[in-house]
Amino acid sequence: MKPQNPPKTYRVKSFGCQMNVYDGERMAELLGAKGIAPAPEGEEADLVVLNTCHIREKAAEKVYSDIGRLKKPDGSKPIIAVAGCVAQAEGEEIMARAPAVSMVVGPQAYHRLPEMLDKAVAGERATDTDMPAIAKFDSLPQRRKRSPTAFLTVQEGCDKFCTYCVVPYTRGAEISRPYSDLIDEARKLIEAGAREITLLGQNVNAWGGEDDAGRAIGLAGLIRALARLDGLERIRYTTSHPNDMEDDLIAAHGEVDKLMPYLHLPVQSGNDRVLKAMNRAHTAESYLRLLERFRDARPDIALSGDFIVGFPGETEAEFKDTLQLVDEVRYAQAFSFKYSPRPGTPAAMMDDQIDRQVMDDRLQRLQARLNRDQFAFNRASEGRTCTVLVERKGKRPGQWLGKSPWLQSVWFEADCQIGDMVEVELVEAGPNSIRGALNQPVTV
């Protein structure tokens, strides 16, 4: 590779989950600390970081086509870094197949991006897919994100090894960030204007640490401590695993006002044979009982889940068990996917891979029910008055968008600004958002 001019501008393009969004922000902060500026809207940057996702199909192909399309106005290629889970899983292959790529950096190694960039400028290509998880957080610059909502990664990695999932291989073993680091980072985010913090982890409810007094605490303890921080109004967390759910977290939903009434708890399937083949280590029944306990603690809690249709060997009758579970839970929101064989995972080697058309049909039927329930949940909120955290301007002048406590998108007209908490009556529900009306003058 030829030596290249040091970049003046950068762009980080993040795909996939919220953890990638968080990582993308931190990479942007690293590049900012190196004196590189974000590229103006609509202009290609001198340095592009593709922060990739490997969870479902065609991830790698998408990366190659994105690389092919990157071009600066003068026709030359920007300096390209491939980060995220595709980088971790297929780093060597990317280096071999895509000569335009200067850097491949895994999710646990991106704190080394600035040194790698120096090498790239000198004309050397560099790959770093090591997994020394905690080191990364220790060597990142301070948070400076200015936004009323912020993500905070508290836990990374996964030891569950669901048979379809690539995460244990790309993100590595479960690790929890230390309590004091998290309180510190939360304080910085609040100083920079965050009023809502979403705690992130692949198994966020497996977080464990020691508080300042040296007592062992779990996620609920961390949430209770964060709730004591002035200026922070809302706390959320995602994604949880049913098997790591501690009693105190359920109790916290009834006790901590700042903890929002929303739970994202993936189940994947409503059939016990399929759940076992997925290595989920819970049953449909134990999952439903768990949800009941959340509803007892916080009757208005909005429930959300993840589903996979067409796992190898899934029969029509087994799929119908998933539909039945959905009918029982009545989710406020949900995410559903066609099974996608991931290289290196046990399920990819299983017999009885399901026909594409069967999967399409099942996904459609499942989504019809999930959409029905989401709309019904929104309609049931009509007439309620709640606090909305204003996140951005709407399409028309005077229009604003924000989220209800139940994570519904609410739009309304008001004289307010981003970051305000406003009292809004939920007037008219749509399938994906709700029209609201301001209930009182804005208080900041």
Interaction site with ligand 5AD (CB under 6 A): 55-56, 164-165, 266, 268, 306, 308, 337, 339-340, 342
Return the range that interacts with ligand SF4 (CB under 6 A); candidates 162-170, 183-191, 192-200, 328-336: 162-170
Decide whether 205 or 404 has the Cβ nearer to ligand SF4: 205
Return the range that interacts with ligand SF4 (CB under 6 A); candidates 87-95, 129-137, 163-171, 388-396: 163-171
- 422 contacts: CB under 8 Å, gap ≥ 6: 387, 388, 390, 402, 412, 414, 416, 438, 439, 440, 442, 443
Decide whether 110 or 339 has the Cβ nearer to ligand 5AD: 339
Q: Which of 27, 103, 158, 386 binds ligand SF4 (CB under 6 A)?
A: 158
- HSE-up of residue 313 (Cα within 13 Å, Cβ side): 14
Neighbouring CB atoms inside 10 A of 162's CB total: 21
Q: How far is the CB of 163 from ligand SF4 (least distance, A)?
A: 8
| Residue 234 contact partner, candidates ligand SF4, ligand 5AD, none, CB within 5 to 8 A by sort of partner | none
The tokens describing 381, both together, are 């909120």
Residues 214-253, mask of contacts with ligand SF4 (x by CB under 6 A): ---------------------------x------------
Number of residues that bind ligand SF4 (CB under 6 A): 10
Return the range that interacts with ligand SF4 (CB under 6 A); candidates 124-132, 136-144, 155-163, 349-357: 155-163
DSSP secondary structure letter of residue 312: T
Contact 421, 388 (CB under 8 A): yes
Q: Residue 160 interacts with ligand SF4 (CB under 6 A)?
A: yes
**Nearest C-alpha neighbor of 148 from the set 387, 442, 419:** 419
| Residue 160 contact partner, candidates ligand 5AD, ligand SF4, none, CB within 5 to 8 A by sort of partner | ligand SF4
| Residue 4 contact partner, candidates ligand SF4, ligand 5AD, none, CB within 5 to 8 A by sort of partner | none
Task: Could you list the beta-strand ranges (E) of 276-331.
Answer: 302-309
Q: What are phi and psi of 28, to 5 degrees?
A: -60, -40
| Residue 381 contact partner, candidates ligand SF4, ligand 5AD, none, CB within 5 to 8 A by sort of partner | none
End-to-end CA distance of the chain: 54
The tokens describing 206, both together, are 């497996």
For residue 378, the SS3 value is helix
Q: Residue 202 interacts with ligand SF4 (CB under 6 A)?
A: yes
**Nearest C-alpha neighbor of 260 from the set 385, 149, 390, 407:** 407
Treating both helix axes as pointing N-terminal to C-terminal, what angle do 316-329 and 356-380 enclose, rounded to 10 degrees?
A: 10
Decide whether 45 or 329 has the Cβ nearer to ligand 5AD: 329
Q: Residue 193 interacts with ligand SF4 (CB under 6 A)?
A: no
Q: Which of 168, 178, 254, 341 binds ligand SF4 (CB under 6 A)?
A: 168
| Residue 264 contact partner, candidates ligand SF4, ligand 5AD, none, CB within 5 to 8 A by sort of partner | none
Neighbouring CB atoms inside 10 A of 71's CB total: 11
- 125 contacts: CB under 8 Å, gap ≥ 6: 1, 95, 101, 102, 103, 119
Q: Which of 31, 162, 274, 363 binds ligand SF4 (CB under 6 A)?
A: 162
| Residue 202 contact partner, candidates ligand 5AD, ligand SF4, none, CB within 5 to 8 A by sort of partner | ligand SF4
Q: Residue 304 interacts with ligand SF4 (CB under 6 A)?
A: no
Pairing of strands 262-264, 409-413: unpaired
Q: Residue 167 interacts with ligand SF4 (CB under 6 A)?
A: yes
- Cα dihedral sign, 265-405-205-148: positive
